[in-house]
Structures are given as structure tokens and as C-alpha cells.
A and B are shown apart, each in its own frame.
Chain A
């Protein structure tokens, strides 16, 4: 068995890893809060979040607050399980 078994390619990026970390411990998190937490640009966050949405690790909600559009994210069950596996793999890697 290879040592990197369980490490997920989708999380091999600082922004995606950060996005998932934040969503694991929060319910809906909106775009602005997320951008600030991860310290990334709009475009950067948008491209990584849509990549995670495509593999159904996160759910994206778009709504209007007054006249302003607001985008929020939430982790899906699939995303939660995958991320936990990824964390376990990281820990295993560290222990070896």
C-alpha cells in the first residue's frame, strides 16, 4: 500500500484545503467571510470553490440580500467524509 493512499488530489491546494477546513466547523459561510479568512482574491476563491462544487464536496447557495447578491458555501456529506479521510491520511503520513 502506498504511503499516499487516502490523500485526495482535490485538496492539494492551500485554498481548497482552507475552504474545507472552514466549512467543516461552520454551517453556511458567505463569500466575503471566506475570502477574508483565507486571505485570497475574489477570482481565486471563485475558481477553487467551483472546482469543489463540481466534485460535490461543497454546496453553493446564491441569494439576494436587498439588492446585493450573496454567495454562501456549505460542506456536503460526501465532502465531509472525504475530507476526514484526507485528514487521517495526513496524520498517518506524519506518524510514519
Chain B
């Protein structure tokens, strides 16, 4: 082999990186996910603070949607409350944000993977997916339970913390920036625990602003 040792070592290192980390990620995915989140948060703001839900006005139910109440021990809340019009609307918004973000990620990554000449679905992406999905699924069920017991105020902190933990878990299989993004999300979620009632704003910062900042950062760095 006519390669000098420097080039050889460089190639060895690059192969070790490429075979363990999923790098076909575009910064634009982050920016777009952030934009969808901000639109979703605005829609949720409208639903929570501007729309009128007759059920909320009944005296025995009025306090339940008070976002300032972190813990509501009235366990008579149940399926009816979980599936109230307001919750279904908010869940619909959340699902739309997730679908659009996932769709964008899938599209952008497949374009980038093709450019780099690798398959999108290989052992690295499989590993990354498993690492992400377990904390995310746990977080999803956790949030449904919170809603079930009428603790809407804890949902934004829980989403941020679980999302951050999922990213932290997956960060060793993808770009290293995910590690610090994960820490930011967790910190933000923990801080928001002490500002119940402002969950939506924290949510918009964590899922909107942070994604846009990191997206731009990664777009600049990895082009």
C-alpha cells in the first residue's frame, strides 16, 4: 500500500466514526422542526387561552384546567377528562408537529444519505432509533397518565425532560452536538418544573428555539 501512515490513520479514524454514528443529518431538519413546534405552540396557546370550552365553566371542573395547579388530587378525573375536546385538540396539534418533524427528518436524511452513498436504514440508524424510542415511549405514556389525573401543568416539563433523556441516550450514535442539546432540554425541563403555568413558553423554547439554534449551528458546521 502506497499510503503514508498519516493518511492511513486518518482513514481508520473516519471509518470508526462513520460505522458507529449516524451523520446523514441536515441542520435544516432541526430548523424546520423548530418552526413546526413554534407554530404548534401558537396553536396550543390559542386553544388553551382563547377558545371557550363549555365543560370548563362548570363549577366542579373549572379548577382542573388551571395550569398553575401542579398536582390535583381529585382522582375522579378519568377517561372523560382525558378525552375532553380540549385535550383531543391539543393532542392533535402535538401529533401534527411530530408527524411533520419526523417526515422532514426522514426526507432530508434520505437525501443526504443518498449523497453520501449510504443506506438510510442500516445497523447504526437501527441502534439510534431503539435508543431514542424507549425513553420517548415511556415519556408519552407518562404524559398520558398526567393528563388522566388532570395534572396538565406537569406535561411540558415531562416532555422536555423525557425528550432530553432520549437525545442523551441516542447521542453516542449520532453527531456529538446532540449531547449538549440533550443537556439543554433536560435543564430546561427541570427549570420549568418550578414555573408551572408557563409550561407552554418553556415548551416553545425547548422544542422551537433550541431546535432552530442547533439546526443553524449544524448546518454551518457540517454543510
| Residues of chain A having any CB pair with chain B under 8 Å | 12-14, 17-18, 21-22, 24-26, 29-30, 32-33, 36-39, 87, 90-91, 93-94
- Interface size of B by CB at 8 A reads 19
Tell me if B8 is interfacial: C-beta within 8 Å of chain A: yes
Q: How far is the CA of A18 from the CA of B9 in the complex (A)?
A: 10
Please give, as numbers and ranges, the residues of chain A lying within 8 Å of B122 by CB-CB distance.
32-33, 36
**Which B residues are CB-close (under 8 A) to A90?**
5, 8-9
Query: Please, which residue of chain A has its CB at the minimum distance from the CB of B6?
Result: A94
- Which chain A residue shows the least CB distance to B3? A14
Separation of A76 and B11 alpha carbons in the complex (Å): 21
CB distance from B41 to the nearest CB of A (A): 39
Q: Which of B1, B12, B18, B20 has the most CB of A within 10 A?
A: B12
Interface of B is mostly: helix
Q: Digitize B1-43: 1 where CB-to-A-CB distance is under 8 Å, 0 elsewhere.
A: 1010110110111011011100000000000000000000000
Q: Which residue of B lies closest to A36 (CB)?
A: B118
> What are 7 A-B contacts with C-beta separation under 8 Å?
A18-B11, A21-B19, A25-B16, A26-B19, A33-B19, A37-B19, A39-B117
A29-B5 contact in complex given A17-B11, A18-B11, C-beta closer than 8 Å: no
Chain B hits for A14, CB < 8 A? 1, 3, 11
> B10 to nearest A CB, angstroms?
10
13 other contacts beyond A21-B11, A25-B16, A87-B12, with CB at 8 A cut-off?
A17-B8, A18-B12, A21-B12, A21-B13, A24-B16, A25-B20, A26-B19, A29-B123, A36-B117, A36-B122, A37-B118, A91-B5, A94-B5
